Homo-oligomer: A and B are copies of this chain.
Amino acid sequence: MRSMMHRVEVLKTVAHPVRIRILEELLKGVKCVSDFEDFLEISQPNVSQHLALLRRQGLIDHYMDGRLRCYFLKDPIIPDLLEILKKDYIEELPAPACCPVTKKGTYPGTRQR
């Protein structure tokens, strides 16, 4: 099992709009840096910086193809993570009927807020 620190790092690394879009593209297949430049509206150095971060965290990897660097997904959590981020949840979780843990409270009463 991933350590708590590792879990936090994975989430923090994915938690950026550019990096989510990069990962979503990689889910479709291999891409090189200039591919990303085409649809992300940021500079090439910035693309490289995001890719470097994703690579340092072990989420992606690459191989060289001539002067291109071909990036691909590596960590298997990514497809699962992207899937639930896209999933449509219709209902909120059901509110609890009572307060089983409370030590001194008087619930159930009328729920407020």
Q: List, in ascending order, chain B residues with CB within 8 A of A99's CB.
A: 30, 63, 65, 68, 70
Count of this chain's copies in the oligomeric assembly: 2
User: Across the interface, do A101 and B31 meet the contact criterion of CB distance under 8 Å?
Assistant: yes
Interface size (A, Cβ < 8 Å)? Answer: 65
A8: chain B residues at CB < 8 Å are 15-17, 20
Taking a contact as CB atoms under 8 Å apart, the answer to whether A109 and B31 are in contact is: no
In contact, B1 and A86 (Cβ under 8 angstroms): yes
CA distance A99 to B31 in the complex (A): 8
A7 at the A/B interface (Cβ < 8 Å)?
A: yes
Residue A45 lies at the interface, judged by CB distance under 8 Å to chain B: no
Interface residues of A in 58-86 (CB under 8 A from B): 61-68, 70, 72-81, 84-86
